[in-house]
């Protein structure tokens, strides 16, 4: 392979020059590959879709984690669904209030590839995190009023991750949250029409089962179109409050290694261009 293409709408896509396939294994769920690319270092793909690159992964992991963990007054008990590369766990572990993380990854091969090919990227040995290799949907269905924050670090809504965008799963997350808890999910690109139905379903499910939904945006060059969305929902916590921004300011002061998240970026990420806001004003599909 000397080039990799990810097609996201017909013949539109992303192309990367590939120097070497450094890992390739078909798991029971998907084809897990790590490619060494010309410009982005190692890149992890699942069934031919980019999950992360060494060079831009910090955006996704910082933005999935810190908005909710700064907005919540005491994020002690967490649940992370997916994220077998360990990047989200790495960011969660930076928060002193975190006491325990139930981490549920369906595919052991993603963990194997990440440990072998991205040394130092993920955190796999923090005593606060307990790893469960199982279907995150079934795991969450068994929980009740247990978590302050649930982070959904799934892949795209095709194949094993499709259920993570569905009404039943969001309802199960709502039941698994403590009062005042927060759910955050990655939620695709507003530019890619193929994913609009999933984005709308997720938004409306979060809104009816959890509470107020705040979609926000960030820039991830190797994801389709480079503009990426995430959704945060809570029935009590307001991510636009001065508490949330002050807490982000303080957190960033003690974490100068952060490369994307800041209090200003947090605030700005919630400003939605009208075409994005309009996606969520129409009915569920």
Residue 153 bears catalytic tag: yes
d(CA 88, CA 213): 21
Tokens of 49: 């879709």
Q: Which residues of 108-139 are buried (b: 16+ CB within 10 A; e: fewer)?
A: ebbbebbeebbeebbbeeeebbebeeebbbeb
Query: What DSSP designation does 251 have?
Result: H
* Binder of ligand SPD out of 87, 136, 157, 239 (CB under 6 A): 87
Minimum distance of ligand SPD from residue 280's CB (angstroms) = 19
User: For ligand SPD, which stretch binds (CB under 6 A), given 13-21, 149-157, 199-207, 210-218?
Assistant: 149-157
Mask for 215-244, x = binds ligand SPD (CB under 6 A): --------x---------------------
Residue 118 contacts ligand SPD per CB under 6 A: no
- Asked if residues 79 and 147 have their Cβ atoms less than 8 Å apart, the reply is yes
Collapse the DSSP code of 104 into the 3-class scheme (helix H, G, I; strand E, B; otherwise coil) and give the result. strand
Minimum distance of ligand SPD from residue 9's CB (angstroms) = 13
User: For ligand SPD, which stretch binds (CB under 6 A), given 11-19, 80-88, 123-131, 235-243?
Assistant: 80-88
Three-state DSSP string of 169-195: HHHHHHHHEEEEEEEEEECCCCCCHHH
Minimum distance of ligand SPD from residue 88's CB (angstroms) = 6
Residue 186 contacts ligand SPD per CB under 6 A: yes
Residue 83 contacts ligand SPD per CB under 6 A: yes
Q: How many CB atoms lie within 10 A of CB 249?
A: 14
Tokens of 243: 């508490």
Residue 49 contacts ligand SPD per CB under 6 A: yes
Residue 85 contacts ligand SPD per CB under 6 A: yes
Minimum distance of ligand SPD from residue 138's CB (angstroms) = 20
Element (H, E) at 26: strand 12-26
Q: Which residue is catalytic, options 102, 153, 238, 264?
A: 153
Residues with a catalytic annotation lie at: 153
Which residues lie near ligand SPD (CB under 6 A)?
49-52, 60, 83, 85, 87-88, 153, 155-156, 186, 223
């Amino acid at each position: 392979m000397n080039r990799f293409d990810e097609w996201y709408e017909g013949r539109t896509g992303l192309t990367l020059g590939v120097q070497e396939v450094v890992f390739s294994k078909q798991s029971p769920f998907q084809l897990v590959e790590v490619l060494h690319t010309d410009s982005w270092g190692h890149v992890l793909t699942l069934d031919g879709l980019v999950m992360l690159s060494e060079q831009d992964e910090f955006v996704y992991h910082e933005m999935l984690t810190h908005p909710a963990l700064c907005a919540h007054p005491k994020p002690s008990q967490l649940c992370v669904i997916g994220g077998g590369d360990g990047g989200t766990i790495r960011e969660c572990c930076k928060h002193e209030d975190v006491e325990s993380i139930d981490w549920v990854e369906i595919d052991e091969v993603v963990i194997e590839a990440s440990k072998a090919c991205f040394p130092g990227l993920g955190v796999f040995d923090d005593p606060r995190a307990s790893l469960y290799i199982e279907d995150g949907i079934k795991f969450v269905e068994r929980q009740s009023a247990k978590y302050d924050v649930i982070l959904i670090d799934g892949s795209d809504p095709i194949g094993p991750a499709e259920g993570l965008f569905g009404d039943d799963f969001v309802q199960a997350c709502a039941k698994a949250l403590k009062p005042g808890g927060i759910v955050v999910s990655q939620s695709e690109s507003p530019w890619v029409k193929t994913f609009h139905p999933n984005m709308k379903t997720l938004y409306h499910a979060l809104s009816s089962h959890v509470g107020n939904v705040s979609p926000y945006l960030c820039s991830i060059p190797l994801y389709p179109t480079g503009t990426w969305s995430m959704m945060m929902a809570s029935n009590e916590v307001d991510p636009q409050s001065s508490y949330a921004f002050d807490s982000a300011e303080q957190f960033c002061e003690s974490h100068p290694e952060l490369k994307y998240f800041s209090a200003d970026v947090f605030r700005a990420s919630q400003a939605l261009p009208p075409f994005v806001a309009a996606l969520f004003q129409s009915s569920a599909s």
